[in-house]
Structure 1
């Protein structure tokens, strides 16, 4: 598993590197914009715009009304805007701002400009529009007749030293005509730059021109409308923040804030300019207005064009066509309500993308089955997008496409590497086990390789040792072809049964067979499988015994020893040649039990540890307690005689009775019981022992001490 985790870490690190490189160089920007628009469209309709902001639009209805009712050409005479300003003054508006440029003198005469200037002079604090940027005319110095913002922002010089000054400094500017400019409370920059897909998602708050810090229209409105308490607070800028008194506005290195759009279309309550002009004129004549001024009390009023012909429409995440003044209104909304969205720091993005990529790669690398891979992919791929939605709800812009690319590359990489490595692993498993595992067991391992431990490990196994009785004596008189044919047939029959029972063939030692159960696959019924295999092998041999006799003249019988215990199992040998085998005292005991059959004249012997696991399934008998060569501790042994559902020979009952009496030291009674089994070799051995003990009158602890293997 550790190897898989390391593999996943390497794949994940590579995937994160790819994703972060694409993100860093802007390759993913357009996709990120789409993902951001999805988030905005989900959350914005659930948020309400500020009712303190009112927008007056010079819409198509206003243009048509001006043309048909008043014969006003476009641009309108500037005195026309006077009633709009007077309406705001009458209503008690807090601040008035026009998102309109008056950079050229009126086409009528100077008096027209002076009329608008006079209206502005009697207005609530009025914000005038100017343009800063490379395409903003030819003026490179602040004209002396133009009012300066005189913003005192602490830390500005230090902050400018940390960022790219050229992005904040405007080389040229366009100013309103003096008749208008000299009457405004503040001049504000109305120019903003969209993202590369021409959609506006951020609002610039500050620009610098000729050493003067110029606020954006939204910031200028907020500054002009501050309460006395707010005006007492200082303005300060530092890395990542613009402090407006107690307000902290998150900004980027270009002094831009992310727009937190609200409402279904991102629009504030708006009114047609024609309806406002008509309402003011009616109020002046003592008539009822179509728009009541009460709704504008203490409001922040912005006016701007929205008619398509006036070419001031912008694209936002919520709408392909939105009045430019609405972007300023939304920025002001964010400032007033302090509903800001912050950029997740770059360093955090690096770690997030890395973590997502590493986690995805490790998870998929550890998946073993196809359905696990599918489930992992279904869960992991949407995770970055869901994280982005969650971050938005908490007020953060978390780039999701970089994370999605990292996850996707990690998942694909892990799947490909898994496929390649598992292909090699399957080929290795087939090659390593094809000679000593059944094809069915190999297929089971291939389905779940986690069950396989190719290195050495300690496990409790049931071990099987068999040997042909008197093989050396009759093999010497057989010619090689006959002997080879006999062995091949015998070993094939026995091996087939062992493999059918899920056993692992360890090795052949001449005519001997060594096998075991519960490795490499875990088999909870390993003892049962081993005993059943031994009984089936004996029956198969009995069925072919006459055939072997006819072919070779030899009586072929097989002794089997079985023991269950802890051993070391694994691939052992040289780098080039190895064998999946076992080492340990439990294996040695199984071998000794095979030889111990000679002492009782039996052909199957299992240890107490094996019988304890299998005795409820097989009928048989206890043979006794013996101490094998090389082992001091005696072991109780048993002889299984019948498969499940079958019964052992009837004389087993007499044998068991005699054995019980023998353990009690009642030799005469035991002898009588054993005498009831005249054809049972084990009973005859015990009968001889009883006679000897009766003759010598000695005691016996019931343990047979064997002197040969």
Structure 2
């Protein structure tokens, strides 16, 4: 035993190391599906415990649908934008950021109108004397503490580069190689850029699933570093010209603006700790223009001018689910910077997760290879609980993003691989035992007992089942007239096929007694259609038995007819016997009744007798009534029927029989003539002949008393 176990453990340990190596390869490669899984985990953490909104000095001046409805559709004239900025600046905010790009001249300016309208020289001279809208906006910008925005593109173009107002102070190695490298920009007019106090990128870098989880603080544009709108707005609010960049050999680690130290990823992005949407951070632009906002609500705050109007399409997917305006992403980033409520994924997080996968993988894999299923599964589940508890604790208490999902998935792969390996080695012996026992008892019972070993105890329970009993006519005479080897061969072939038919209908072999077979349905596993299964099984058995008997007779041999009884009812199912040996079977009157119905065929002239109890649950099965039979020793009669095969069903003949049976049941004298007519047309109909003989003997009605079992 030890000699065979060692190679198995060596092979299993080699498999374990291979699976761990594959897991590490995929973890370091980080294909898109793994990134999506990891990000979804972080999203779920934020949904369970989002950042609580605090009244930080950040407000969104929202060009919303209400503003567009009141003041006209977009784009607004630059004079209206200038009026809005002027009103905001008069309230003395800390800084403003404009999430709008003015890349082209205002088409509503007088100069632009002169190119379209056909006016007289006098009117053209009058119109040319009006102020240019872009110049009006530039004049307002020149007296405002505001940062404009520009968009970045990956592909090169001939567009001009933005005017950067911030100075970058680099501490450590250059962060340039680690920053996202854009090649072109779409900027506002040079006149406007020159007048603004700052200029920042509006770029978002979404993850593979399109969700915005991080915001760049600085980016790379060709060979220059440019700030984001958030960084530039914060710089103006802090009244500083410089942005400090702290870097090491792995990339950027921190961005410093005034007194603010903002932790970032290596590529300069800051994780956004989202809070739920709040109406407090929004101020509608039309209310500012209408003078309905108290200036104290704006004083000392960072004001971000943007839009939430759906028609302007500045909408982003949020980790909290749903869509939020892009301007709110900037606002939430500023809120968490001002509150110091940062969310971060530490540099050592990946190293820790790799160590966890290696150590936990080896531990769980070894336990699974050498221990039982319960212990290995408990160790696996305990590891998962530790992963998730530690990750949740790190998120709640320290705002660290540690990923428990990918280590859990990879640990599950290790556990499954080791379990499958162990199972394959033990499966051969189990398969041998299963095959051996299947030759003694019903395969579905073997399957059930393997799945429910707790039922291998003495005792039973009540359950409604259906029973099929078969028997061969003249079996004793057959055995006496044939050589023993020939008789056993014929009988074994017969029984093998009969049992195979029962198993094909998921019946359970109750017992074999000589040539008789007892099959039960809805035990051990319950079957809601057990009545239908029993009848169809009986029909298929009878079809085979008839063909088998005819084949033997054609070959010059002899074989008896098969009679079948089918009944349903509540019985006690379970294991009966003693501590030494026991048998799984059903006990109860329905079992005896099914056996007695099989025997009734001999007197009635039928081959299959089905009780009304069984047939009533199978309206789709065609059948003809036999009558109410009073079995020996019983005081209550039982209605029985003869089921018919659909393929051989003659509806006209069946209708004639039903008409004659109703006359007999109602004790009509016309019943005798009706059955005489049926027997005359169909002399092979033994059931009709049976009823005719009863009528000739002076019986009436459909009650049949059987004096024999």
Q: TM-score, normalised by structure 1?
A: 0.51
5 Å-filtered alignment, 1:405-484, equals 405-421=409-425
The structural deviation recorded for 1:254 is: 2.4
Instruction: Give deviations 1:556-601, integer Å, cap 9, x for gaps.
Output: xxxxxxxxxxxxxxxxxxxxxxxxxxxxxxxxxxxxxxxxxxxxxx
CA distance in 2, matches of 1:62, 1:374: 60
Instruction: Give deviations 1:332-368, integer Å, cap 9, x for gaps.
Output: 2233233323324333332232233223324444542
Q: Indicate the residue corresponding to 1:29 in structure 2.
A: 35
1:358 aligns with 2:377: no
Q: Indicate the residue corresponding to 2:262 in structure 1.
A: 249
Q: Indicate the residue corresponding to 1:114 in structure 2.
A: 135
Number of aligned residues: 401
CA distance in 1, matches of 2:206, 2:431: 57
CA distance in 1, matches of 2:202, 2:136: 23
Q: Indicate the residue corresponding to 2:436 in structure 1.
A: none
CA distance in 2, matches of 1:236, 1:322: 31
Q: Indicate the residue corresponding to 2:224 in structure 1.
A: 212
CA distance in 2, matches of 1:197, 1:21: 22
Q: Indicate the residue corresponding to 2:310 in structure 1.
A: 308
Query: Retained in 2: the 8 A contact 1:53–1:301?
Result: yes
CA distance in 2, matches of 1:233, 1:76: 33
CA distance in 2, matches of 1:29, 1:233: 31
Instruction: Give deviations 1:125-173, integer Å, cap 9, x for gaps.
Output: 101011122268532x53xxx6432422214763335x3xxx6332111
Q: Indicate the residue corresponding to 2:24 in structure 1.
A: 20
Change (3 A) 1:50 1:157: farther
Change (3 A) 1:259 1:249: same
1:396 aligns with 2:400: yes
Q: Indicate the residue corresponding to 1:347 in structure 2.
A: 351
Which consecutive residues of structure 2, in runs of 5 or more, have no partner in the other structure?
A: 112-131, 433-452, 454-709
CA distance in 2, matches of 1:210, 1:416: 53
5 Å-filtered alignment, 1:176-255, equals 176-226=188-238, 234-238=244-248, 239-244=251-256, 247-255=260-268
Q: Indicate the residue corresponding to 1:149 in structure 2.
A: 165
Query: Retained in 2: the 8 A contact 1:8–1:358?
Result: no
Q: Indicate the residue corresponding to 2:183 in structure 1.
A: 171
CA distance in 1, matches of 2:87, 2:271: 33
CA distance in 2, matches of 1:253, 1:395: 18
CA distance in 2, matches of 1:120, 1:106: 16
Q: 1 or 2 for the larger relative contact order (CA 8 Å, sep ≥6)?
A: 1
Residue 210 of structure 2 aligns to a residue whose secondary structure is: coil
Instruction: Give deviations 1:348-394, integer Å, cap 9, x for gaps.
Output: 332232233223324444542x4434434443445544443333222
The structural deviation recorded for 1:423 is: 6.0
The structural deviation recorded for 1:97 is: 0.7
Aligned with 2:319 (options 298, 317, 320): 317
Query: Retained in 1: the 8 A contact 2:154–2:183?
Result: yes
Q: Indicate the residue corresponding to 1:258 in structure 2.
A: 271
Query: Retained in 1: the 8 A contact 2:166–2:243?
Result: no
Change (3 A) 1:49 1:11: farther
Q: Indicate the residue corresponding to 1:272 in structure 2.
A: 284
Query: Retained in 1: the 8 A contact 2:99–2:202?
Result: yes
Query: Retained in 2: the 8 A contact 1:57–1:271?
Result: yes
Aligned with 1:65 (options 70, 83, 87): 70
Change (3 A) 1:10 1:342: farther
Q: TM-score, normalised by structure 2?
A: 0.51
CA distance in 1, matches of 2:35, 2:243: 38
Residue 175 of structure 2 aligns to a residue whose secondary structure is: helix
Q: Indicate the residue corresponding to 2:147 in structure 1.
A: 127
The structural deviation recorded for 1:213 is: 1.9
Q: Indicate the residue corresponding to 2:335 in structure 1.
A: 333
CA distance in 1, matches of 2:191, 2:88: 21
Q: Indicate the residue corresponding to 2:81 in structure 1.
A: 81
Aligned with 2:174 (options 158, 165, 170): 158
Q: Indicate the residue corresponding to 1:96 in structure 2.
A: 96
Aligned with 1:51 (options 49, 53, 56): 56
CA distance in 1, matches of 2:280, 2:156: 29
Query: Retained in 2: the 8 A contact 1:382–1:404?
Result: no
The structural deviation recorded for 1:421 is: 4.8
CA distance in 2, matches of 1:201, 1:50: 22
CA distance in 2, matches of 1:83, 1:173: 27
Query: Retained in 2: the 8 A contact 1:12–1:359?
Result: no
Which consecutive residues of structure 1, in runs of 5 or more, have no partner in the other structure?
A: 68-72, 280-288, 429-446, 448-709
CA distance in 2, matches of 1:331, 1:209: 22
Residue 343 of structure 1 aligns to a residue whose secondary structure is: coil
Query: Retained in 2: the 8 A contact 1:18–1:406?
Result: no
CA distance in 2, matches of 1:213, 1:377: 48
Change (3 A) 1:427 1:19: same
Structure number with bigger Rg: 1
5 Å-filtered alignment, 1:639-654, equals none
Residue 199 of structure 1 aligns to a residue whose secondary structure is: coil
Change (3 A) 1:180 1:55: same
Residue 173 of structure 1 aligns to a residue whose secondary structure is: strand
CA distance in 2, matches of 1:234, 1:335: 15
CA distance in 2, matches of 1:186, 1:421: 70
Change (3 A) 1:214 1:407: same
Residue 231 of structure 2 aligns to a residue whose secondary structure is: helix
The structural deviation recorded for 1:256 is: 1.4
Instruction: Give deviations 1:261-304, integer Å, cap 9, x for gaps.
Output: 1x22388611111122112xxxxxxxxx3x22212221111011
CA distance in 1, matches of 2:25, 2:105: 52
5 Å-filtered alignment, 1:464-543, equals none
Instruction: Give deviations 1:421-475, integer Å, cap 9, x for gaps.
Output: 55689999xxxxxxxxxxxxxxxxxx9xxxxxxxxxxxxxxxxxxxxxxxxxxxx
Query: Retained in 2: the 8 A contact 1:77–1:112?
Result: yes
CA distance in 2, matches of 1:39, 1:5: 40
Query: Retained in 2: the 8 A contact 1:58–1:272?
Result: yes
The structural deviation recorded for 1:43 is: 1.8
The structural deviation recorded for 1:13 is: 3.8
Residue 182 of structure 2 aligns to a residue whose secondary structure is: coil
Query: Retained in 2: the 8 A contact 1:15–1:407?
Result: no
CA distance in 2, matches of 1:207, 1:89: 28
Query: Retained in 2: the 8 A contact 1:94–1:299?
Result: yes
Query: Retained in 1: the 8 A contact 2:369–2:422?
Result: yes
1:39 aligns with 2:45: yes
